[in-house]
Structure 1
Amino acid sequence: MQLDSRAQTLLKALVERYIADGQPVGSRALSKISGLDLSPATIRNIMADLEEMGFVASPHTSAGRVPTPRGYRVFVDTLLTVQQIDETTVESKLQPRLHTASQQKIIANAAQVLSSLSQFAGVVMTPRHESVFQQIEFLRLSEKRILLVIVAPNGDVQNRLLLTDVDYTPAQLVQAANYINQHYAGASFDDVRARLQGELRQLRDDMTRLMQAAVEAGSDAMAESSDDVVISGERNLLSVTDLASNMTSLRKLFDLFEQKTSLMQLLDVSSKASGVQIFIGGESQLVPVDEMSVVTAPYEVNGRIVGTLGVIGPTRMAYERVIPIVDITAKLLSSALSHS
């Protein structure tokens, strides 16, 4: 739904004022801060139209209005003026913290940087590595039960139980493992899956099924071992009145941090998009708390997107500041990991 220029100006002024002080904004205040030469009656009519369209709402206790999730969405998508942050100044503060010996420390520092600069919670999804393996083994546990042992290039070991239709002999298991190790060691399970179909026709069908089952289980195992989220500054959100004043919202918020499942889903979705993404509570099903927003950006290693980082805060956050913080941190993290 298109808004004319006057409605856009008033909506922008209302959202900015509400973000600044958290109080419902009345027509009198809007006439002063909007810069428009309009009568109070005209402003009231425009605000009534905005309310009817679902962009603002009137709390029962006030004559003023507050932005709705839909109003925030229009604001961040079309009306927001992002602050120009001096990247060199930010880099001078961040670079020392993002260049350390270990990748794990770099990730943790990035989450801390996001939290300290935004004063909210910083979150980083750890890099998703391709599910590459160095070696696999099959161990016969009992009839039709096989333990798949996967050794990653860094030495990490993952185990998965395979339930098969065929009772394989130890010799058959050795033969299958040798074939995979000789032909595919150092490749990703995704590559092996694609190549298996055309390259295993010379083997018996039951051996092919074993190898395909191993590839599926191995891919799942490696993915599970690499998916994690680093969070910093959760306690900052306890001082945010919009979030902490409602016990139900607070409980949902800390369930999000503890369980991490929906947070992983949100970060995974944003890793498939380019640039900064904004998820607003009450509008996005991925955000479990109506008063919460998440600003995210993907980051890369050597040109390939491997994860996402972001800031978790209230819907009433200074998006014009948080967006460049997230954007610049993603670029610096990409650079640090690519050269680590």
Structure 2
Amino acid sequence: MDDRSRALLKTLIERYIEEGQPIGSRTLSRFSGLDLSAATIRNVMADLEEMGLVTSPHTSAGRIPTPRGYRLFVDTMVTVRPLEEIAAREMEKGLLPDSPQRVLNSAAQILSNLTHFAGVVMTPKRAQVFKHIEFLRLGEGKILLIMVTPEGDVQNRILPTSQDYTPSQLVEAGNYINTQFAGKSFAEVRAHLASDLDNLRSDISGLMALALHSGVSDYGMGQGDMLLSGERRLLNVGDLSTNLDKLRKMFDMLEQKSVLMQLLDVSSHADGIQIFIGGESDLLPYEDLAVISAPYSVDGQIVGTLGVIGPTRMAYDRVIPIVDITSKLLSGALSAPISS
């Protein structure tokens, strides 16, 4: 595109974000600062439409951006606004060092409160260690494995077994595993067992192998959770709430979490702000939605992602710095000593 086309596309998207109505030639002439005739503007709009950057709703002669148009806009045309001083103070006050769970919840709430959209935080993956393991006999050929994490979470697994163990054997095996391996990562347990299983009594080694392969290894692959705040605010967004089918699909996505978890996981492997425009990829298949995300860290190591879920017609220049600063403040709060 030449400079004239870029200027008109930028003006069209900015005015559409502001007004929410298809943008016509007269509005573009008034706000673009270019001395162009209406006929010239219409010709440029036709070229942009042919390039897939804008489209014409059937009810209007004006044009609106496509996902591809938004992508070009956010990648090359957005000028980020400095964050308002009041908002910056609110963020700092809300993300003081505290318990990790409260800080993570506060981050999601701040993102929602400042943007009036939905805030989301993907929490760190659960620790891949256990504090305590216990075996209980459920009947012939079945054992219940109970695992307790350092955080106090309890996980249960039913293990099928070809050998019938006595209660005393189950207690002895649990005591041995807790004494030898409590507080260690599952990778350490696996490495140790690979060399030591043959040296243990058959009943203990059999139970340890069952726990490792049928229970512990699955548990060690657990993902983090996703905290959502302000999803009901999206009901107040006209672009999203006027179509019941789109609204249902959006809340299905928020409830199932799998799409967002995948998207946020992708963000955790990238540097800085990531912007996902709905409809341009399989990661976010909902054309009217956009997600702005950023990773956060603890002691310099990236452990999760946070972001804002809103309409594609959002003020990117304002939301981007809110997400960016929240990720930095959250990283600082989680890395700092807990305040008394």
Asked whether the two chains share a fold, i.e. TM above 0.5, the reply is yes
Note the alpha carbon deviations across 1:97-135, whole angstroms, 9 max, x for none: 222643322222211111111011112223323222122
Equivalence for 1:338: 335
Does the 8 A contact of 1:159 with 1:221 survive in 2?
no
Separation in 1 of the partners of 2:97 and 2:58?
Answer: 53
Corresponding residue for residue 61 of structure 1: 59
**C-alpha distance after superposition, 1:244-276 (max 9, x if no partner):** 000011112222333333333322232232211
CA pair 273-143 structure 1, distance change in 2 beyond 3 A: farther
Instruction: Tell me if the contact between 2:126 and 2:224 (Cα under 8 Å) persists in the aligned partners.
Output: no
C-alpha distance in 1 between matches for 2:205 and 2:33: 73
Distance 1:33 1:42 in 2: 15
Partner of 2:2: 4
| Structure 1 equivalent of residue 131 of structure 2 | 134
> 2:315 matched to 1:294?
no
TM-score (norm 1): 0.87
C-alpha distance 51-207 of structure 1, shift in aligned 2 (>3 A): farther
What is the CA–CA distance in structure 2 between the aligned matches of 1:315 and 1:274, rounded to whole Å?
22
Indicate the residue corresponding to 2:43 in structure 1: 45
Which residue of structure 1 aligns with residue 182 of structure 2?
Answer: 185
Partner Cα distance (1:189, 1:101) in 2: 29
Deviations 1:47-79 (A, max 9, x none): 222211211111111111110111111111222
Secondary structure of the corresponding residue to residue 158 of structure 1: strand
Which residue does the alignment assign to 1:243? 240
One-letter code of the match for 1:11?
L
Aligned length in residues: 336
Give the residue type in structure 1 aligned to 2:286: V
**What letter corresponds to residue 110 of structure 2 in structure 1?**
V
Aligned to 2:110: 113
Counterpart among 81, 85, 92 of residue 83 in structure 1: 81
Change (3 A) 1:56 1:147: same
Distance 1:325 1:335 in 2: 15
Letter in 2 for 1:5: D
Paired with 1:143 and 1:243, the residues of 2 have a C-alpha distance of: 55
Q: Give unpaired runs (5+ residues) of structure 2.
A: none
1:285 alignment partner in structure 2: 282
Comparing 246-255 and 258-267, the one that deviates more? 258-267
- 1:24 aligns to 2:27 (yes or no): no
Distance 1:22 1:206, change over 3 A: farther
Aligned partners of 2:98 and 2:333 also within 8 Å: no
Contact 1:270/1:277 (<8 A) preserved: yes
Q: So what's the TM-score if we normalise by structure 2?
A: 0.87
Whole-angstrom distance in 1 between the partners of 2:315 and 2:181: 50
C-alpha displacement of 1:335: 1.3
Superposed CA deviations along residues 186-241 of structure 1, whole A, max 9, x for unmatched, are: 122244345544554655899767545423523544665x7332222222211111
Query: Which structure 1 residue ranges, 5 or more long, are not aligned?
Result: none
Equivalent in the alignment of 1:261: 258
**Identity across aligned pairs (percent)?**
61
- Opposite residue 65 of structure 2, the aligned amino acid is P
2-structure distance, mates of 1:305, 1:331 = 11
Cα distance in 2 for partners of 1:317, 1:6 equals 24
